[in-house]
Amino acid sequence: MAFTPKKQAFNAKINAVTLGTGDRSIVIGGENVLPFYTFDAPIDNKPRIAVEISDKGLEGCVSEGIKAFYAGCDSVVDMAVKAQSMEGASAICLHFESADPNGENKSVEDCVALAKAVADAVEMPILVMGCKNIEKDAQIFNAVSDALQGKNILVLSAREENYKNVGASAGLAYNQKVGAESAVDINLAKQLNVLLSQLGVPDASVCMNVGSSAAGYGFEYLSSTLDRVKAAALAQSDKQLQMPIVTPVSPETWGVKESMSPEEESPEWGPLDERGIEMEVCTASACLVGGSNLVIMRHPAAVATISKFIDSLM
């Protein structure tokens, strides 16, 4: 008797969410199968890659490959424009690192000015990442969402502590997309989605960031959270977990010693750039196979590889 593999397409599906506007807009989500299980049913919208640009420019960047890519760029705006030409890039993620009140404490006005300048210069969808300070992030997201009305940006992220503020401004008043961030726990992820929906933010305007970590650094928690969220969303049709997943990869992988330790300190490890690329590639791939619909990355070689990886499995 010939063996015919059983198909496992689900009746439920992940919400399709559009980011950006015009020709360069992208749609993430929409699938009714597990990640890359195209043998069960076709997947219409492939996972995407956003390129992370820090508002500090290349300050603190340890990667020669990244510096070389942006050679000749005089400003963050230049870098954002240049990032659009990165092979495999679909969106630009502007990371307001220097807004942190415990750091440089860049003012909300300066953040807005930069966001506007970038938005005027690029055509790709824009993601805005905060500085992890809850109050400051809420202020930035509020102001940037207002200034970039009509651009259909994604703000990263609303958290349990500031979801009301961020959800009401970005999600309701200014009609942008809201990222809901929780820390590697399916119940917390669901709870935040429920809270946002009670606030009135439409499900189709919400993406989830269910946590992030680098391969080797507690990645099992993230991996199992991704597996469980996709299982609940598809197999159990849990509407509160059917939002597409956005995972910041580069902020994690470029902070671990494998990617940062200079070659002089551990010569047997080989060139720093190569280590950074492999960490980013390995982590991004594992996130995508787990269920991320969009990953945020930095290094042009890593972005090109992951883009090729996605295409080869679609």
Interface with other proteins in residues 287-306 (CB under 8 A): 288-290, 301-302, 305-306
* 26 to 65: interface string for other proteins, x by CB under 8 A: ----------xxxx--------------------------
Q: Is 105 in the site for other proteins (CB under 8 A)?
A: no
Q: Least distance in Å: CB of 247 to other proteins?
A: 14
CB 314 within 8 A of CB 45: no
Q: Which of 133, 157, 205, 223 binds other proteins (CB under 8 A)?
A: 223
Tell whether residue 9 is a contact of other proteins (CB under 8 A).
no
Give φ, ψ of 121 to 5 degrees.
Answer: -95, -25
Q: Measured from the CB of residue 218, what is the shortest distance to other proteins in angstroms?
A: 4
Count residues binding other proteins (CB under 8 A): 54
- Which lies closer to other proteins via its Cβ, residue 201 or residue 295? 295
- Which residue among 27, 227, 238, 239 contacts other proteins (CB under 8 A)? 227
Q: Which of 277, 294, 295, 296 binds other proteins (CB under 8 A)?
A: 277
In the list 42, 101, 200, 271, the residue contacting other proteins (rule: CB under 8 A) is: 271
User: Site residues (CB under 8 A) for other proteins?
Assistant: 2-6, 8, 36-39, 214-220, 223-224, 227-228, 231, 256-258, 260-261, 268-271, 274-275, 277-279, 281-286, 288-290, 301-302, 305-306, 308-309, 312-314
